[in-house]
Amino acid sequence: MLNWNNNIKQFIAFLKIEKGLSENSIFAYQNDVDKLMQYSLARQKTPDTLTTDDLKLFLTELYDLGLSARSQARIISGIKQFFQFLVYEDAIYDDPSYSLELPKIGRKLPEVLSVEEIDALIAQIDLSKKEGQRNKAILETLYSCGLRVSELVDLKFSQLHFDEGFIRVIGKGNKERLVPVGDSVEQEIKRYTEGFRAETPQIKGNEDYVFLNRRGVPLTRVMIFTIIKQLSQQLGWKKNISPHTFRHSFATHLLEGGANLRAIQDMLGHESITTTEIYTHLDQSFLRDAIISFHPRNKRN
């Protein structure tokens, strides 16, 4: 009878020495097999006693937990690698994962708002409330700069360079990028800093953060989600609106306006152009008009 811990250690060594995988890839594989081990130990199953039906039940539990198709596919891939290794080592003869199928991973298109819908959402903000101007500045910044919600809550005054016309954003992996900024963002942030922001308590260590709550503490990601959700509910929308919706809309509207995909990639801080290509889900009539207008074969004298 095989031993989970010993087999997993051997599998990790195989991935490291024979396959030469990176530490991140090895960690992901180990994490996937660990999930299967915990499930199996609770049912007193060892690697050599697991059947295909056992694995299907395990995957059903993952599905019931709400894991995305992409996450499920990654775990199945890790499990398949593990059992292929056991067969390769003659530890087992039949691979129970052989017939497991990867779930289809559709490329989920992001929710996008029209310019009119964004204006309507911002118009719902009650500017008579103290935090109203702050919330308006938040939405303007999200939409006009295409920031991630984490980049927004971490935004500091030292990153705002309005005289030069840009803001310096600290993105994933501490990578910096410069994003052009228009007059609307500058005006809304200045109104906010002259009002609500000036009245908040000055807590040591928080002075440089742009967006604070009433206690002088930087806003959290959850708070930004809540602000947007409440505004959406006031309009009676059934759409699933989040801070990322503004980022998607920013990219899509730039593309529709004729911006280069590379330029959009730089402004969003995407490592790969393939990530940015999701924003090419444009209206077919727009694509047709663009092709008719700009393709040299369609140009008429």
Does the structure show a pLDDT above 70 at 286? no
Q: CA–CA separation, 114 vs 282, rounded Å?
A: 12
Token code pair at residue 210: 């742009």
270 a catalytic residue: yes
Q: Which of 74, 136, 248, 270 does the annotation list as catalytic?
A: 270
For residue 103, being part of any structural domain is answered with no
**Which of the two residues, 73 and 128, has the higher pLDDT score?**
128
Confidence of residue 284 (pLDDT cuts 50, 70, 90): very low
Which one from 74, 134, 136, 247 is the annotated catalytic residue? 247
Structure tokens at 216: 């002088």
Is position 162 within any domain? yes
Q: Mean pLDDT across the stretch 218-241?
A: 92
Catalytic status, residue 248: no
57 with 126, same domain: the answer is no
Please say if the pLDDT value at position 291 is more than 50: no
Residue tagged active-site, from 190, 229, 244, 281: 244
Confidence band, pLDDT 50/70/90 cuts, at residue 207 = very high
The mean pLDDT value for 231-246 works out to 90
CATH number at residue 17: 1.10.150.130
- What is the span of the domain harbouring residue 82? 4-88
Q: What is the CATH number of the domain that holds 180?
A: 1.10.443.10
Closest CA to 189 of 226, 217, 164, 156: 156
pLDDT at 215 over 70: yes
| Burial class of residue 98, CB neighbours in 10 A (0-12, 13-18, 19+) | exposed
> What pLDDT shows up at residue 272?
57
Residues 40 and 130 in one domain: no
Cα–Cα nearest to 259, from 243, 274, 283, 279: 279
- Regarding predicted confidence, which is higher, 30 or 292? 30
Dist CA 175 CA 76 (whole Å): 32
Is 107 contained in some domain?
no
214 is an active site residue: no
| Claim to verify: residue 236 and residue 282 sit in the same structural domain | yes
288 is catalytic: no
Give the per-residue pLDDT at 211: 96
User: What mean pLDDT value characterizes the chain?
Assistant: 83
Does residue 299 sit within a domain?
no
Q: Which listed residue (9, 70, 161, 172) is catalytic?
A: 172
Confidence of residue 109 (pLDDT cuts 50, 70, 90): low
pLDDT score, position 260: 67
Most confident of 61-65, 194-198, 253-257: 194-198
Number of domains in the chain: 2
Query: Is residue 23 situated within a structural domain?
Result: yes
Asked whether residue 137 is domain-assigned, the answer is yes
Is residue 199 situated within a structural domain? yes
Give me the pLDDT at residue 297, please.
46
Domain co-membership, 119 together with 83: no
Question: Residue 4: pLDDT above 70?
Answer: yes
62 and 177 in a single domain? The answer is no
Q: Answer yes or no: is pLDDT of 210 > 50.
A: yes
Among this protein's residues, is 172 annotated catalytic?
yes
Is 54 part of a structural domain of the chain? yes
**Candidate list 148, 197, 248, 253, residue with the active-site label:** 148
User: What is the pTM (predicted TM-score) of this model?
Assistant: 0.58
Decide if 161 is catalytic.
Answer: no
